[in-house]
Amino acid sequence: MRKKILLSFILVLAIVFVGGEVALRKFLGMCHAPLFYASNKYEYMVEPNQSGYRFGHYYFFNAYSQRSANPNYSKPIILGLGDSVLWGGVMVDQNDIATSLFTKETGIQMLNISAGSWGPDNCAAYLKDKGFFHARAMFLVVSSHDSHDNMDFEPVVGKMESYPDKQYKLAWAELIERYIIPRVFPSNKKLDVDEEVNFGIQKNGKIFNPGFTELKNMADSLHIPFIVYLHAETSEVKRKKYNSQGLEIIHWAKLNHVRLIRELNYHLPLSCYRDNIHFNKIGQRLFATIMEKGLKSLDNSIMHQK
C-alpha cells in the first residue's frame, strides 16, 4: 500500500515537473532569453539572427544584431540609436516597439541599433565597426544619465542576469534562480547596469560622453541630419524638468547647433511607463508618434536624397 502511494506521489511530481517545464517554456518563454556577446569595441551587443517569444512577446534581431528587419536599401533608412528605451525590452512585442511602428507608418525604415545601458559612445563605436547602412539621418535616443554613461568595458555578458550568453537548460531552474530567489531573498550584489538607472543611480563618468560629438561628426561627414531625442525618467516627469545631467545634454545641443527633441514638452503621462525609465506598450506607441512628428519636417529631404 505504501509502495503504491509512493509511486503515485512520484508520478504526480513527474507530471507536474514535466507539465510545468513545458508550460514555462511555451507561455513565459523560459530558456528563450535573447543572448548577448562581448565586444572589445562597443562593450556588448545582442547576438545576431535571433528570434523567439519571451513572456508572450515576440522578439527578433537581424544579421547586424539590430532589433529590426535587415536593412532594406529600396527604402530610405534612418539609424535609430540608443539604449534599452529604444531597444524596448522583451516586455513589449517586436511589432509594438516605436521603431517598428515608425517604419510601418512612414515607409522609412528605422534600424533599431541599441542595447541595454548603451551610451552614445557605444553607438558611435558600433557604427565605426559596422558602417552606416546608407543612412539618410541619425536619430539618437538618450536619457539624462547618458551624459556621463561612458564605456568602461566592465564585464557584464554572462556575469549579469540581463546579459546572458547561454540559455538555462531547465525552465524551472531559470524561474527559481533568476526570478523567485532574488525577490524572496534580496541580496546586496551589484545591480545589473540597466537596473542602476531604474533605481535612480546617476552615471559618474568623469567627462561628458564623447559619443555625442563623435556621432555629430559622423553625421556631418555624411551630410545627413543628426537629431537627439531626450527621454525623461518618471522622476523628471513628476518634477516637469530634466535633472542636472539632462541639462548638460541640452547645453551641448545648443552649443553644437544640434536639433533636440525634448520629450517633456509632450507631457506624457506616467501610465506610459512600466518602471522608472522604460515605456510599456502605450508608451512605445506615443514614443513613435513623437518620432513621426519630430521627423516630419525632414521627410522631403530624406525621401529625395540619392
Domain ranges within the chain, ordered by starting residue:
61-151+193-304
Q: What's the whole-number mean pLDDT along residues 158-176?
A: 94
Q: For residue 180, what is its C-alpha cell?
A: 523567485
pLDDT at 193 over 80: no
Q: What's the whole-number mean pLDDT along residues 187-197?
A: 61
What residues does 78 pair with on adjacent strands?
110, 137
For a pLDDT cut of 70, what percent of the chain falls above it?
Answer: 91
What is the model's pLDDT at position 2? 78
pLDDT tens digits for 96-127? 999 999 999 999 999 999 999 999 999 999 99
What is the model's pLDDT at position 204? 64
What is the model's pLDDT at position 197? 54
What is the distance between the alpha carbons of residues 119 and 42, in angstroms, rounded to a whole number?
Answer: 10
Q: What's the whole-number mean pLDDT along residues 32-45?
A: 98
What is the model's pLDDT at position 195? 61
Residue 167 and residue 33 in contact, taking contact as beta carbons nearer than 8 Å = yes
Under CATH, what is the fold of the domain 61-151+193-304?
A: Rossmann fold (3.40.50)
Neighbours of 61 (CB within 10 A): 21
What is the model's pLDDT at position 9? 83
What is the model's pLDDT at position 301? 63
Name the residue among 104, 140, 106 with its Cα closest to residue 121: 140
Across the chain, what does the average pLDDT equal? 92
What is the model's pLDDT at position 251? 98
pLDDT at 75 over 90: yes
What is the distance between the alpha carbons of residues 47 and 122, in angstroms, rounded to a whole number?
Answer: 16
pLDDT at 198 over 70: no
pLDDT tens digits for 124-152? 999 999 999 999 999 999 999 999 999 99
Q: How far is CA 143 from the centre of its chain?
A: 12
pLDDT tens digits for 215-271? 999 999 999 999 999 999 999 999 999 999 999 999 999 999 999 999 999 999 999
What is the model's pLDDT at position 7? 85
**Concatenated DSSP letters for the chain?**
-HHHHHHHHHHHHHHHHHHHHHHHHHHS-TT-PPPEEEETTTEEEEPSSEEEEETTEEEEE-TTS-SSPPP-TTS-EEEEEESHHHH--TTS-GGGSHHHHHHHHHS-EEEEEE-TT--HHHHHHHHHHH--TT-SEEEEEE-GGGGG--------TTTSTTS-SS--S-HHHHIIIIIIHHHHS---PPPPHHHHHHTTPPP--SS--THHHHHHHHHHHHT--EEEEE---HHHHHHTS--HHHHHHHHHHHHTT-EEEEGGGG---GGGBSSSS-B-HHHHHHHHHHHHHHHGGGHHHHHH--
